[in-house]
Amino acid sequence: MSGDEGSSGWQLTESDPGVFTELLKTLGVDLIVDDLYSLDSDALASFQPIHALIFLFKWVANSDERGGGSGQFDTAFPGFFAHQVVNNACATLAVLNALMNIPSLTMGPELSDLKAFTTGMDPQSCGLTITSSDFLRQSHNALSPPSAISLDGLDIPKTSEDAYHFIVYTPVAGSLYELDGLKQYPVKHGSYSEAGEGWVAKAREAIEARIATYPPGAIEFNLMAIHDDALPKLQAELKASQDAGRDLQADQLLVRITEENDKRAKWALESSLRRHNYLGFIHALTLALAKAGKLQPATEKARTVMKERIAKAKKDGKSMEED
């Protein structure tokens, strides 16, 4: 999937919340993406208000590709929907299908222009517009390691790193919709009640129903929520609690704020590590080992490891590919 003609200059990205949140920041959107480990009320409550849910999955090797959602195609969908034209762009495409349907969302100028430009466009043209946007492609590619030591253009057979399928669940004009860039139209799941959990309750039903259609173990999946940044609110609440002397509540808020800050620090570290070109570092580290007289013994050991690996691969009947 990642090796076919569908790359067009879009690199394959990781699909973790830190990466997505960074993309949102580049697009000028002040929302956060987090992993959801469960769809139950408590899990969702901590992230409310949630603007969109992303269900991402990939087929486990040799799985039978059965299963999927139900619902009805809406050929008169009033919102934004783009087809996935380039496989490697799937993550950004899903994010756009979500963001562009969030009412009154503050966004950067490039995204605003894109939204205006694509108003009224059919899904295919929308998808083409997105994939030919230099700004979007660059923002997307900035999420993956630099290509100085990547293998694009060297004709290396890529390891089987399949792209995830992304499906966005989001409310539009009073109904819950399922936006899948690989399907022809958005899928309408019907109206929901604003009371209580609101639209996410309906989304829970739809997602659980979908999960149930896959044979057990056939897919690996993940759920993410696009939601407001909780920090400003938490910090305001903390101040209020402290001022009012509500110590217990203040302590609980402090814990949550600390967790949130730790998470951001982890994301910042990962982002910095991810975007770095390690060529110089690899050379310097190898040189340090050599100067310490440790390179040759390490290399000898490594040769033995390789011999054993090759012997084992031969025994197992595999051809010698990079793992």
Partner 1 sequence: MSEPILAFKAGKATRREGTNTVEPSATKGAIILQNEDGLLHFKWKNRESGEVEEDLILFPQDASFTKVSQVTGGRIYVLKFNSSNQRHFDASAARDEEFASQINVLLEDPDRVLVWGESNVASTSAQVIQPTEASSSSAVGTIPPGPASAEQIAHLSEILRNMTAQQTQNRPTVSLRDVLTRENVAPLFTTHPELIPALFPHLPPDLPIPPSPEALQRVVNSPQFQEAVRSFDQALHTGLLGGLVRSLGLPEDAGTGVEPFLRAVQNQAEREGSGSSSSSTNQPHERDQDHMETD
From the list 194-202, 204-212, 247-255, 282-290, the region that binds partner 1 by CB under 8 A is: 282-290
Find where tokens 């969030």 sit: 102
From the list 1-9, 20-28, 132-140, 305-313, the region that binds partner 1 by CB under 8 A is: 305-313
Write out the H or E segment, with its range, that includes residue 231: helix 231-243
DSSP conformation class of 189: E
The answer to whether the CB of 82 falls within 8 A of the CB of 181 is yes
Report the alpha-carbon distance of residue 253 to residue 232 in Å, rounded: 12
Decide whether 244 or 302 has the Cβ nearer to partner 1.
302
**Please, what is the minimum distance in Å from the beta carbon of residue 273 to partner 1?**
4
Sign of CA dihedral 56, 71, 67, 197: positive
Site for partner 1 in 140-199 (CB under 8 A): 145, 148-151, 154, 156
**Please, what is the minimum distance in Å from the beta carbon of residue 155 to partner 1?**
8
Q: From the list 173, 240, 298, 311, which residue makes contact with partner 1 (rule: CB under 8 A)?
A: 298
Q: Say how many residues make up the chain.
A: 323
Would you count residue 279 as binding partner 1 (CB under 8 A)?
Answer: yes
Residues carrying an active site annotation? 90, 165
Three-state SS at 55: strand
Q: From the list 284, 311, 312, 318, which residue makes contact with partner 1 (rule: CB under 8 A)?
A: 284
**Helical axes 17-26 vs 247-275, angle rounded to 10°:** 80
- From residue 134, alpha-carbon distances to 10, 91, 138, 141, 193 in Å are 10, 16, 6, 10, 40
Would you count residue 269 as binding partner 1 (CB under 8 A)?
Answer: yes
Would you count residue 311 as binding partner 1 (CB under 8 A)?
Answer: no
Decide whether 103 or 280 has the Cβ nearer to partner 1.
280
Would you count residue 288 as binding partner 1 (CB under 8 A)?
Answer: yes
Per CB under 8 A, residues contacting partner 1 are 145, 148-151, 154, 156, 265, 268-270, 272-292, 294-296, 298-299, 301-303, 305-307, 310, 320, 322
